[in-house]
Structure 1
Amino acid sequence: MKRAMLGVSAVWSACVVLSASTAGGCKADDRIPVLLVTGHNNHNWKYTSRYHKETLESTGRFRVDIADHPASVLRDPVVIANYKVFVLDYNDSHEPKRWGREAEENFEKAVREGAGVVSVHAANNAFHGWEGYERMIGLMWREGTGHGRFHDFSVEVTDAEHPITKGLPEASPTTDELYHRLVNSRNVPYRLLARAMSTTESGGTGAHEPMAFTLEYGKGRVFHTPLGHVWWNRDSDKVSVSTPVFKALLARGTEWAATGNVTIPATWTDAVDHNALTDEERDAGWQSLFDGKAAPKFKGFRQNGWPQKGWTFGGGVIRHEAGGGGGDIVTVDEFGDFEFKCQWRVAPGGNSGIFLRVSEDLDWTFMSGPEMQVLDNAGHNDGKVKETSAGALYGLYPAREDTWRPAGEWNHVLVRAKGPKLEFHLNGFLVVEADTSSDDWKQRIAASKFKDWPLYGKNAKGRIGLQDHGDLVEYRGLKVRSLK
């Protein structure tokens, strides 16, 4: 199935900044087409939706499109027909936002006729009074439902013969919010797969509560897990969607809902070649700066070649060792108007940065090149200040969305530099916009340390730099294209 069939891009605003066809070497038609329905939730859907997409695509089994505006997308039955399963990361309990009669009827019809559904966490809070939805999801957050504190607990498999849970450990640790007293408002039958003890010490009921179950809606298979709580601006919650048991349930539950079978193992290695150019990227003019093995198209800042220490490459990543030295590295070529994308992850407390339009006429990269901050916010003091947190234009503009990922997790970056205008995207969302010719920019510079460097942000062309800040950091998927 080609992406061209999505004739709804106009209503799919900010659909996905991440690569649309990311499973290197895997043809789109070989993968299960998934529509991840999101865009409205009292939970941090901007974080979870993009994270769920990557979890699913990392198996090599799925190709995921994201609908941030489902009311528009689901109105088109032709588009809906292209998907085998819908993953729901949507909740309107805090602010009612139904999809509209046409979209809701199309959705119900697709599921009745065999499309699968996966309900994640607060999706069971949604749509009070929509009978079809409540029958589809089964156990709902309704009057009397609650939860204790966010805490560590075990998810216990109760049905070891179901394809989703077969082969999973009998008990798996997780850290999450544990819903209790979910309400079967339509009295629908379901098959329990896993449970957890809601202890009174954690503020729970003292009883086992369902953590994974299946049910049917017409010919459609439904998998439901109330796990996966991530609140806005609460960094400690982000672990909930990265635990092995959550990832296994999400991936295996999605495959089962789509096909009735499960081939994904309990754990897997990432099937995506993040350094490979996709066909879409080649057609759009992207070039690779590192293929994962051969020497990257980088060199030491103000050096003729690769640094003699600190930086290494291979195994799919460019890596800087903690305390290894070597200085910053920059691209061999210079770029004027361009887009650059990469992925980065840092060790706990780690710090690095991505510099734009760097000049080698000055002593340091930061004297000329504006920096996108690379940081473990939770483990570094810079994370306590918005203007120096992950995704920020360092020291000047904060990242305006809470999409950064914790230490050890891959963060996806897209940077756009066209004339004086700069854009930073982090994990699928625009987080910084700046205009280096604006009065606002000039005022911020005048109030910062950058006022002492007259060429800072002034270059129309320069190198892209990666910072040695003395910490362990890895980069991959480094790609660039020139803009006209």
Structure 2
Amino acid sequence: MMLGMIVFAAGVSMGLSEPAIQSEPLRAVLLTGQNNHNWPYTSRVHAETLEATGRFRVEIADDAPAALQNSDDLSTVRVFVLDYNGPRWGEPAETNFLNAVREGAGVVIIHASNNAFVGWTEYEKLCGFMWINGKTSHGDFHRFDVDYLKPEHPILRGLPGMKDHPDELYHNLINTQNSPFELLADAYSSPESRGSGKREPMAMTLSYGKGRVFHTPLGHVWKGSDAQKASIHDPQFKVLLARGAEWAATGEVTLGTHSHDVRRHNVLTADEAAAGWKLLFDGHSASHWRGFKKDAFPNSGWEVREGAIVRVPGAPAPGDIVTKDEFGDFEFSIEWKVNAAGNSGIMYRCDENHDYPWQTGPEMQILDDSGHADGKHPKRRAGTLYDLAECAFDVCRPAGEWNHARVVCRGTRIEHWLNGFKVVDVDTASAPYQEAKAASKWAGSTTHGSLSRGRIALQDHGDEVWFRNVKVRELK
């Protein structure tokens, strides 16, 4: 688990108007780190949803009390985003948070954050509608329409409402402190879905001192559920969240009504260049890559398209591609997305003295976990050290969504990072690793994982897979 503040920068999609692009990004602090839901997943997706608009600079606080210790530091926060359902923060965190909101910082409350802090009167006033055990409940995760009730409100202006949104629908939330609110959206909780048979609030605004609050009980992703991840990848939800956050921060909305990513990809920041990173793909040319055991990049089957290296399905199998350079101790960073039921992989420290890269190179699995049979095998899901080590966190995104991966190799130590979390950490010289290997498909192999230096390979498994933001740095 990562603690403290993390300044986030990665990729999803959202549109905004030209004035917003030109303005200084709004400082947003996303408070998370504890939740009975899959917070490692939801927190990073919410951060990307906001970052991709170009309107926000998001700092992720996995240790919320620590992030709220310094009242002076909070004076520049424009909006707090709560993806949290855990214990009270204690002092001075609680007072600092409330004072910052009273002085004008906005708040966004997402899903189970309205379950948190029952009994903390000031939070209940700020939140408005609370989950109260024994009274509040929900039916089945299902698809439903969300009706927008105040089309003139800046958050909703130009939006038609949500159609066929996949989510959990809370019913009987309780306004425990009778807080004044403006209801922006509701949905019918159908008896067929084990709901209340009534219309239930789905988005609302409140105020707390000078602070504006946007609250939506949407955005449910339970631990261990691949299907429920769709709730926060629905473009309709992303638009509502981003516009709600901008309104909470500024009182105005400049963001557009549709989603697209405004950030630049396949470039190095000044900090990355200073840290020794090198681009292995500039968005236009695959000059750092060639076919495995080939002199050039494949003429068909792989192509550069829309700022990505793409394995094109249906073409004759071109085989894996590999870096022209070899790497020993290194850090490799890449973003990938795969089609439905797709499979691929990142192999590293591979040689070309064998028939395939996997005969020598360990593999970070790339997979549509929900659509491919390997997704049911804990050591073959996306992010795993294939067939050897399972992931510590369930953070892989659905087919068609971009994932950020990192591989770090130092001597016999291997780390896999997926979407901001270290999911694998092994020492290939250790007894546990050797035991795992003996129980895997690599049992008896004297070559797999044996090299301290080699090429990085992107696997041709016959499925469509996209790669971008491909970077590497050698570690001394």
- Residues 73 and 79, structure 1, Cα contact 8 Å, conserved in 2: no
- Residues 239 and 259, structure 2, Cα contact 8 Å, conserved in 1: no
Letter in 1 for 2:112: A
Structure 2 distance, partners of 1:435, 1:415, is 14
Structure 2 distance, partners of 1:135, 1:268, is 33
Structure 2 distance, partners of 1:33, 1:338, is 32
Which residue is equivalent to 1:386?
Answer: 378
Letter in 2 for 1:56: L
Q: How does 1:284-295 map to 2 (within 5 A)?
A: 284-295=275-286
- Residues 16 and 428, structure 1, Cα contact 8 Å, conserved in 2: no
Does residue 1:81 correspond to 2:75, yes or no? yes
Which residue is equivalent to 1:437?
Answer: 429
Which residue is equivalent to 2:32?
Answer: 38
Query: How many angstroms does 1:17 deviate by?
Result: 8.7
Q: How does 1:150-229 map to 2 (within 5 A)?
A: 150-229=141-220
Q: How does 1:37-436 map to 2 (within 5 A)?
A: 37-92=31-86, 97-143=87-133, 144-324=135-315, 325-436=317-428
Letter in 2 for 1:326: P
SS in 2 for 1:64: strand
- Relative to 1, partners in 2 of residues 1:18 and 1:475: Cα closer, same or farther, differing over 3 Å? farther
C-alpha distance after superposition, 1:130-185 (max 9, x if no partner): 11111111111114111111111001010000000010014532010001111010
Structure 1 distance, partners of 2:22, 2:31, is 20
Query: How many angstroms does 1:77 deviate by?
Result: 1.3
C-alpha distance after superposition, 1:171-229 (max 9, x if no partner): 53201000111101011110011110111111111111111110100000000000000
Query: How many angstroms does 1:112 deviate by?
Result: 0.2
Structure 1 distance, partners of 2:7, 2:366, is 18
SS in 2 for 1:470: coil
- Relative to 1, partners in 2 of residues 1:205 and 1:449: Cα closer, same or farther, differing over 3 Å? closer
Structure 1 distance, partners of 2:103, 2:41, is 31
Structure 1 distance, partners of 2:215, 2:195, is 20
Structure 1 distance, partners of 2:252, 2:381, is 43
Structure 1's unaligned 5+ residue stretches are: 1-10
SS in 2 for 1:390: coil
- Relative to 1, partners in 2 of residues 1:215 and 1:239: Cα closer, same or farther, differing over 3 Å? same
- TM-score computed with the length of structure 2 as normaliser: 0.95
SS in 2 for 1:105: helix
Structure 2 distance, partners of 1:293, 1:83, is 38
Letter in 2 for 1:43: H
Query: How many angstroms does 1:126 deviate by?
Result: 0.4
Query: How many angstroms does 1:119 deviate by?
Result: 0.2
Mean alpha-carbon deviation: is it higher for 452-461 or for 196-205?
Answer: 452-461
SS in 1 for 2:328: coil
Structure 2 distance, partners of 1:57, 1:363, is 43
- Residues 7 and 59, structure 2, Cα contact 8 Å, conserved in 1: no
Structure 1 distance, partners of 2:22, 2:428, is 40
Q: RMSD over aligned Cα, in angstroms?
A: 1.9
Letter in 2 for 1:137: C
Which residue is equivalent to 1:454?
Answer: 446
C-alpha distance after superposition, 1:59-115 (max 9, x if no partner): 1111111000011110111222231000000012xxxx1111210000000000000
Which residue is equivalent to 2:16?
Answer: none
Aligned structure 1 segments of 4 or more residues deviating by more than 6 angstroms: 20-23, 26-29
Which residue is equivalent to 1:5?
Answer: none
Structure 2's unaligned 5+ residue stretches are: 14-19
- TM-score computed with the length of structure 1 as normaliser: 0.93
C-alpha distance after superposition, 1:30-49 (max 9, x if no partner): 11110000000000000000
Letter in 2 for 1:442: Q
Structure 2 distance, partners of 1:363, 1:28, is 52
Query: How many angstroms does 1:308 deviate by?
Result: 1.9
SS in 2 for 1:52: helix
- Residues 351 and 469, structure 1, Cα contact 8 Å, conserved in 2: yes
C-alpha distance after superposition, 1:322-368 (max 9, x if no partner): 23211000111111110001111111110000001111111110011
- Residues 112 and 218, structure 1, Cα contact 8 Å, conserved in 2: yes
- Relative to 1, partners in 2 of residues 1:309 and 1:452: Cα closer, same or farther, differing over 3 Å? farther
- Residues 12 and 73, structure 1, Cα contact 8 Å, conserved in 2: no
Query: How many angstroms does 1:464 deviate by?
Result: 0.7
Letter in 2 for 1:220: G
- Residues 20 and 65, structure 1, Cα contact 8 Å, conserved in 2: no
Query: How many angstroms does 1:13 deviate by?
Result: 2.3
- Relative to 1, partners in 2 of residues 1:17 and 1:474: Cα closer, same or farther, differing over 3 Å? farther
Structure 1 distance, partners of 2:168, 2:392, is 26
- Residues 10 and 48, structure 2, Cα contact 8 Å, conserved in 1: no
Query: How many angstroms does 1:58 deviate by?
Result: 1.0
What fraction of aligned residue pairs are identical, expressed as a percent?
Answer: 51
- Relative to 1, partners in 2 of residues 1:397 and 1:21: Cα closer, same or farther, differing over 3 Å? closer
Structure 1 distance, partners of 2:376, 2:429, is 29
Structure 2 distance, partners of 1:237, 1:73, is 29
Matched length: 468
Query: How many angstroms does 1:295 deviate by?
Result: 2.7
- Which residue of the other structure, out of 448, 452, 465, is the alignment partner of 2:457? 465
- Residues 41 and 91, structure 1, Cα contact 8 Å, conserved in 2: yes
Structure 1 distance, partners of 2:162, 2:332, is 43
Query: How many angstroms does 1:477 deviate by?
Result: 0.8
Query: How many angstroms does 1:244 deviate by?
Result: 2.0
Letter in 2 for 1:405: R
